[in-house]
């Protein structure tokens, strides 16, 4: 091996540790092109200079390593990983935080972002509430601290109510929502982030933990972010061809499909009959319920919609909000 300057030797060793955090001394010597004694001198000089470099003897080898989190002030990505990083960032909901990250990465790319071609991806835009309050929701969940919030609920005619919640699980959506123990009712509830009008992490309250199995059962009984008040029921409906092809590719989480002559059977175990019935109703006469509870909920929803539509046709005017609707019979709720 030829002679080289001290600067080149140090540079070679640093590059090697940027590639791998742990080296066998003999392998490091071969990778850097240094004689063993010269390599040991460089490693000791780096230690004396403050580099968090450790050695360990395990006969017949000597291992040299730096901590996995070592890099002064940042995180390193190999060139082959940067294109995937950009691709994943482009899929995030558009917002100030995502745009800042993309700008930082792009500014530091070789050739000013011309490392690889990027696809014309258009991601969804979060609501103002999601962008404003999602950080507080995630902080509360990560630190296992209660979240205090003012929340708009359908059951209170859009009036916000104050409550503390202990967050156990977050679904990024869309829409963004989370499962939490409500400190008012002391049970699991679904909450949508866009229903929050004010929020803060409250370390003055005690976090209410939960049983993992109970949380899993609650989520399994839910459908499209809603958990009904009743028992879990097994429901199914048949969808004829050709509509069955679209339905099979657009099922809600928890739904199961079975191929049958002329179509498919979709089944699900849930207590959330309202969103399930709404899913079936929008399929029109292409879908047929097979279980009584689902059929009854579909009848209730369809009857209410039909009455409103017929009223508009009888009066010969466009649909509009009216006092009659506000004072009408109670309708199934679909929100907390």
pLDDT tens-digit map of 8-31: 788 788 878 777 788 888 888 888
Tallying the residues shown for the chain, one arrives at 336
Could you give the CA distance from residue 254 to residue 268 in angstroms, rounded to a whole number? 6
pTM of the model: 0.62
CATH number belonging to the domain at 128-221, selected among 1.25.40, 2.30.30, 3.30.160, 1.10.3470: 2.30.30
Percent of the chain surpassing pLDDT 70: 84
- The pLDDT assigned to 297 comes to 94
**Quick one: pLDDT at residue 332?**
45
- Please provide the CATH number assigned to the domain covering 6-65: 1.10.10.10
CATH 3.30.70 is held by the domain 233-315? yes
Q: Give the residue among 323, 292, 324 at the shortest CA–CA distance from 307.
A: 324
pLDDT 10s digits, 56-90: 888 888 888 887 666 655 666 666 777 778 778 88
> What does the pLDDT average to over 308-312?
87
More confident residue, 236 or 37: 236
Is 333 a residue whose pLDDT tops 60? no
The per-residue pLDDT for 69 is 63
The radius of gyration of the chain from alpha carbons, rounded to an integer in Å, stands at 30
Q: Where are the domains of the chain?
A: 6-65, 128-221, 233-315
Lowest average pLDDT, out of 148-162, 178-192, 212-226, 296-310, goes to 148-162
- For residue 290, name the pLDDT band (cuts at 50, 70, 90): very high
């Amino acid at each position: 091996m030829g002679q080289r300057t001290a600067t080149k030797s140090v540079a070679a060793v640093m590059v090697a540790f940027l590639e791998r955090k742990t080296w066998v001394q003999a392998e490091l010597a071969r990778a850097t092109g240094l004689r063993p004694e010269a390599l040991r001198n460089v490693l000791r000089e780096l230690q004396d200079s403050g580099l968090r470099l450790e050695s360990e003897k395990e006969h017949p080898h000597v291992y040299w390593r730096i901590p996995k989190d070592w890099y002064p002030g940042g995180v390193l990505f190999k060139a082959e990983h940067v294109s995937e990083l950009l691709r994943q960032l482009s899929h995030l909901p558009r917002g100030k935080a995502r745009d800042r990250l993309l700008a930082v990465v792009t500014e530091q790319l070789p050739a000013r972002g011309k490392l690889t071609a990027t696809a014309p991806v258009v991601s969804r835009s979060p609501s103002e509430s999601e962008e404003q309050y999602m950080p507080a929701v995630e902080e509360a969940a990560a630190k296992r601290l209660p979240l205090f919030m003012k929340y708009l609920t359908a059951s209170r005619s859009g009036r916000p109510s104050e409550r503390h919640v202990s967050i156990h699980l977050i679904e990024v959506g869309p829409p963004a929502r989370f499962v939490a123990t409500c400190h008012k009712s002391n049970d699991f509830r679904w909450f949508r982030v866009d229903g929050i009008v004010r929020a803060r992490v409250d370390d003055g309250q005690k976090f209410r933990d939960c049983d993992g199995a109970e949380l899993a059962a609650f989520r399994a009984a839910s459908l499209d972010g809603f958990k009904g008040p009743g028992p879990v029921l097994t429901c199914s409906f048949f969808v004829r061809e050709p509509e069955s092809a679209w339905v099979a590719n657009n099922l809600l989480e928890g739904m199961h499909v079975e191929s049958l002559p002329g179509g498919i059977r979709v089944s699900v175990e849930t207590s959330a009959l309202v969103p399930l019935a709404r899913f079936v109703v929008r399929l029109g006469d292409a879908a047929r319920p097979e279980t009584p509870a689902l059929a009854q909920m579909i009848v209730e929803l369809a009857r209410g919609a039909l009455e409103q539509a017929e009223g508009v046709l009888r009066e010969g005017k466009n649909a509009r909000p009216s006092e009659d609707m506000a004072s009408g019979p109670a309708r199934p709720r679909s929100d907390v």
